Structure 1
Amino acid sequence: MNVIRMMNDMKMKKKLAITFISAAVLPLLLSGLLLTGKLRSIVIQDASAQVGANVERVRKRTEELIQVPLDISYRLTTDNALKRVAGQKYENNLEVIQAYRGYTDIRDYLQTYKELSGIRVYTVNPGALDNWEFIQATDRILAQDWYQEAIEQKGLAGWNLIQDERLGVDELSLIRSFPLDVPGRTGVLVISVDERQLHAILEQESFQTLIVDNRNRIVASNEADVFGKNLSDIHANANILSREEGSYDASINGKASKVVIAHLEPENSWNGLRVISIFSVSEITRDANNVIRLGVVVISASLLFAVLLIYASASLLSRRLFRLSHHMSKVGTGAWETYLHIDGKDEIGLLARRFNALVKSVTQLIEEVQETNRQKSLVEQRQNEIKFKMLASQINPHFLFNALESIRMESHIRKQDDIAQAVWLLSMLLRSSLEAGNGNIALRKELEWVRCYLEIQKFRYEERLDYRLQVEPQLEEMPIPPLIIQPLVENAIVHGLDNRAEGAVIEVEAKRVPNGVLIKVADNGAGMPADRLARVREELAAAVEDQEGQRIGLRNVNDRLVLLYGASSALRIESDPGSGTSIAFYIPEAIRDDQSPDRG
């Protein structure tokens, strides 16, 4: 953001100079970056390939090394003499010593194979003795995870870092259970791999190389200080701790690094080992970085030379742009009648002509916006007039509601339920009038207000008034302006029922018609003569203010419909003397779908 702000504050001459310089130097810059980036990528790829080959070599050599204890474990676990010595019941220590001396296979294997550092057989045999070859499985040993895993895997080999009781050090060991001669008893064979042989495999590697078991414990490393530690203690990267095989990027100690992992899965084993090699990208890209720095020096020198040549050219163009900026400033002060004249058919000349066209278009747009705002203000004025006329007498609405509620409760106490119901309906109607805003409401809500008003009038006129509200169910949530139907119903009662002794029926109907919805309020009251009907239609069409002082007049409803939906939605009045009057209006489909009711 600071760079953008600095560029915006910079003079046009300098900005153009920087633009041209960037255009001239960009190919050179891209070429340098491409070449140096390619060089760096090749270096990393070669190093990755080399490390991958090294890891594969370590994996194969380690596999050859652990194949020795794996083969010997096959022989020992099928050796009946071993099973007999480990499992038989001894009467005294002399029998134990004689049996141990008579079985020499373990000592022979240790002397023959330099890959091994120890062979131990763990059994639960109360009469046996410990001689570092046959070891009594104590409760501590029985509770070890490796011992329990060996028993559970039933003859499969496992590889874990286990402490040699004789030497007191941890060693990579093969673990395998086998049945003894005694039914139901099992022994566990542990063959330790010589640590020196493992380290001899890794010490030739130039990058950090580790061999870890399935618990992420380091069983071998070309760095002696990490042997025996958990991998999470020195490398917290999740990719390294996972068991995925392959080559990928990682962040080690805050440095970009490459990690190569190979799995070692010995045959007939329930777990395996992983060979991990880690190298820092910065170490192998040192030469490539030197080339990149040299490229930066060359590019900087080229940029400095370009500044001297291009700055003069930028000055020529900046003068014409300054004229354009000056005229824009005049327009900013409100001088829309300004006209800019710049010679030339280049981009600056085209920009000047576009500027003139823009000024003209903005002037027209301002006029349209002003007209729209005037229409919107007029709609709000009509709406506010309705609310004002309906609530002019309600100086303190809360006091009025409380008073009505007191009257209603008193009517209930005196068993005047019809009066209580009428007071409650009046209270609801007044409250809904106060809550009506300038936004649209659902047709369902408007009809609730109409029903309250009709029930109040029905309380007044009793059997002389009846009404029917007919609306299609799918239109109940249709958005309409508030207080748009109730004034029509009030007009029907005032001009239809009061002049008809036998009463009247008020019908409110909302139904879907092509491309919109038709809402009609009709009565079978006294109707209007032709001259009166013509005068009403003329007053609505002439758009004059309602001068009769009514609370809600047809004039206000008609104006709001025309302002919101256009002339096609104006009130349509039909009336015959003695037959009644119907008032209808139309809401277009496109406008109705774009509006939503105000549920506040």
Structure 2
Amino acid sequence: MNLGLDHIRLRNKMLIIFFVSVFTPILLTNIIFYIVTTNHVEDLRMKDINKNIEQMKSEFQIEVEHAISLSSLFYTDFWINKTLSYSYINNEAEYVEAYNSYLRRVLNSSYTPINTLVKEITIYVDNPTLLYSGGVEFISPEVEKAEWYKRIKKSTYSTPILIRTESSFGEKDIFSIVRRMDYYRDQNHVEKVLKIDLRPQAIEQIFSNLNVDGDLYLIEKSKRSVEYTTHPNMEWQYTEIIYDQFNLPKGTIVIKKDFTDDTLLGQWSVIAEIPDIEVFKEVKESSNFVILLASLIIIPPTLVIVWITRSITVRLMLILKHINKVKTQNFEIIPDIKARDEIGQLSIQFNRMTLTIKSLIDDVYKADIQKKNLELQQRQAQLNALHSQINPHFLFNALETIRMRSLMKDEKETANIIQNMAKMLRTSLVWKMDKVTVKQELELIYCFLEIQKYRFEQKLDYHIQIDDAAYDCAIPKMTYLTFIENASIHGIEPLKHGGRIDLKISIEENELVFLLQDNGMGMNKEKLSQLNQYMHSKKDMGDRVGIQNVIYRLKLYYEEQFEMVIASEEGKGTRIQIRLPIDKEMKTLNEHC
């Protein structure tokens, strides 16, 4: 089973082989390789980004934990708590001595350079006997109104709190560790609050280590507020921004990292918004490599197959071209055959076959044609000799002599009839014109009717009515005369008492209408049916004469654009109507007459 391959052109067969055996397997292989490669590159890139974000989160958490550890030192330091809780009424010198001997050293050296994240340490107390300076501040009404102070007052525990506070410039961009210092109970019930401010530059440095273009957000989970972000157009330092209230750009990858619940940052999380182009640009680079590799694999085989296919198909088409020339008896050989493969051998054999056929035609066929032409010439000579004996000019001259002799004998009616017969004979023998005008056709009709009237005398009567515009219309030669002849000979002549023929030729819209009616013998149904069948017959004319010949010629000229209706009743006469188109045929043919 060849699956219909015999009907497929050779070039298309080669293309099928290429696509099935080369292109499709290579394409599928490269698609699979592309998918696997891009997925692998994407996974690696996402792992790198996640690792980088996790590292920044860990660095921030470590720094905050260092600050918390520092707060624990102050929280558990006995001498700090004792010094800040003691009443120095009328004894400021003792406080100055205690401050200079211990507090100054502790407050100024506890965080530099040990913890680079700490900017400033301040202890707020409500002991009015202290001198407030150098890291020790009084809990003033302004402090009590601060959000961080309210937050620590509401807390029932001594655990530290991480909160964003205002700087001296009014920007809320400082992260602070706030903690009650109530580890030691004192008799004076002095309130002490530790506030450790973290350095903004250090936090900015930590969160600027993202190695891709994107924005980082430090989110407080309970309020979903943005506590810090690297987004350049977001003023998080001045207003509270809810993270869920703004729309993400299309094609943004969101990565969320939560801090562990067992730390102070347990209710915080880091969210990274990264454009997918940052992830897929390496994927695109790998895809470009895959495409380049696929092109290098596909293009060379394609060029080789095209080259080989062209070598085959072009030469086959050349052979086919010369075969078609042989069909038209153009025995041209294929020039410059240099190839020695199968197609080259086929071309050589074709040339040999062409030369052999040409030789046979020259030697046998042409000789036979010459012999037949000689026979035809001999027969034509015989016909010409026979034709010379019945030369129409001889007949016309004889009839003209008879007419002149009749006139000399004063037989004018006989002379007129002879003149009509000569005119009809001359017109019927001269076929140089395919079409005549209605006027020229009427001349023959009048000649014929006058001859018939001469034969039957009062037995035949006729009436002809013609529109003036119809005279110059062109019709096939002897179209109407045939029907007049048929009406006279077969319709009126058999009647004993004679009959009448009425002819009317008119123009209706774009049609030339011929209407012929007689009161003669008429036709039976069988004859009428036979004539109607001629209208729908598609057979060649053969030896048809009379009405059949007219119908055949009308079909040749007008195809389906003419109409003929025949109505007849036996003993009552016949009515014939013919409609011919005149939109393209309306012209005067006098130049042919």
The verdict on a shared fold, with TM-score over 0.5 as the criterion, is no
Q: Could you say which TM-score interval applies, normalised by the shorter chain?
A: 0.3 to 0.5
The alignment's TM-score, normalised by the length of structure 2, stands at 0.38
Higher CA-based Rg: 2
